[in-house]
Amino acid sequence: MSAPEPRLQERSQQILYHGSRLRSPLQNSSNSILVKAKKPYFQSDMSKQEAGVAQHNKVRKAVFPVAGLGTRFLPATKAVPKEMLTVVDKPIIQYVVDEAIEAGIEHLVFVTGRNKHVIEDYFDIHFELEQTLRERAKKAEITLLAQQLPKAGTVSFTRQQEPLGLGHAVWCAREIVGDEPFALLLPDMIMKGDKGCMKGMIDLYGQSGGNIIAVEECAPDQAHKYGIVGVGEAIGEGFRITGMVEKPAKGTAPSNFFINGRYILQPEIFKILETQERGAGNEIQLTDGMLKLLKEQDFAGYHFRGTTYDCGAKDGFILANVAYALERADIRPSVEGGFKELLASLR
C-alpha cells in the first residue's frame, strides 16, 4: 500500500492511560541489498549551531511494542502475555523497562493489543494485594512492589488494532512520542552486561546525535543469518554506520556486526512509516523505513559487549532463567548443585 488505509488510521487512534536463535530485526525486511547513507544528518538550510541542538535533543521516551501473540510459547501465551513470562521472579518486560529507566528514560510507551491488559495491571497499584501485605506486616514485599511501580503519569498505553508489523507498531506511538527522538526496545530481548545497553546508546547519542542502533558481533561465517551493518569511523563506544544489508550472501557481508533489538530513532521515522508500503509477510517493516531514513540522516552503531537473551525463543528464555538464577545470592546455593548434576547426567 502507498499509505495507511483510512480505516486503518481510524482503528489506530491513540488510547492513553496514565497512572533456538537470536532473531535479527532486519530478518523480515523485504530488502536484501546494501543501502548506503547518501546525505549527512541535518544537512539542510539550518545553521550548524541549530543542527547541533537538534542532534542532541534529550531522549525522554521509550517505546515497547508488546502486541505480539507469542505463538512460540503456546499454550502458556493463550492466557499470559509472553512479556509477562517470568525470568526467575520478574516478568521479562520488567528487565527491559529497568534497562530503559537506568538509561534515564522518563516516559514509558507501551503499544499493546487485545488481551494484553495484564501488562497495564502490572504497572499499576494492586490495592487488595497491598492491603493484605500490610495486614500481614510483609514489609519486604511492600517495598519491592513500591520500587517496581512507575511514577504516576509516566506510563502510556496505545493499541495496535491489527498485527501489521513492527513498523506499524512504532507508527501507532507517534502521537504520544511527538516530535522528539525516542528509544525503541524490543521486549523479547534481555540484555545482560556490566553497562546497560540503552545506557551505552544514550551516552553515544550524546556524542553523535542522529539515530543509534545497538549491534553485536557474530562469527564471520554466521553473518549471512542476520541483518548486518557497514562499519565507518569510530565514535566513542561505537562507529558510523555506512550501510545495512539483510542476510548477505556468504562472504559478502560488510562486517560481522548484527542488529540486536535496541534503537534510538529520530521522529522523522514516523512520516516515513506513514506511507511505507507493506513488505515481507505483508507487514509494515521498521527495517524498510530505516533504510529510507539512512539515505537522509546519520546512523551510528553502539557496540554492545554483554550477553543478549532472546526470550522470545525457548532456548534463550531457559538460558536467561539459568543465568539470572545463578547471579542471585539467595537462589544460587540451592540450584547450582542441581544444575551441575543435570549437566553431568548428559555426558
We report the CATH number of the domain holding residue 90 as: 3.90.550.10
pTM for this model (two decimals):
0.82
Q: Is the pLDDT of residue 39 over 80?
A: no
Q: Taking residues 114-133, what's their average pLDDT?
A: 92
Count of domains forming the chain: 1
Whether residue 326 is contained in a domain is answered as: no
Instruction: Categorize the per-residue pLDDT at 2 as very low, low, confident or very high, splitting at 50, 70 and 90.
Output: very low
User: Per the domain annotation, does 166 fall within a domain?
Assistant: yes
pLDDT of 171 higher than 70: yes
Structural domain contains residue 346 = no
- For 289, the domain range is 6-308
For residue range 207-246, what is the model confidence (pLDDT) as tens digits?
Answer: 999 999 999 998 888 888 888 889 999 999 999 998 887 7
Per residue in 301-324, pLDDT tens?
999 999 999 999 999 999 999 999
Whether 210 and 55 have beta carbons less than 8 Å apart is answered as yes
Mean pLDDT is lowest, of 14-23, 59-68, 138-147, 296-305, for 14-23
Query: By 3-state DSSP, what share of the chain in percent is helix, strand and coil, each rounded to 5?
Result: 40, 20, 40
Residue 331: inside a domain? no
Nearest to 304 by CA among 201, 185, 231, 181: 201
343 domain-assigned: no
Residue 340 belongs to some domain of the structure: no
For 152-163, write each residue's pLDDT tens digit.
899 999 999 888
Does the pLDDT at position 44 exceed 50? no
Write the CB contacts of 63 (distance below 8 Å, at least 6 apart in sequence): 109, 111, 170, 173, 177, 182, 183, 184, 185
Distance CA 102, CA 200 (A): 10
| Amino acid 30: pLDDT | 40
Cα separation, 282 vs 2, in Å, equals 13
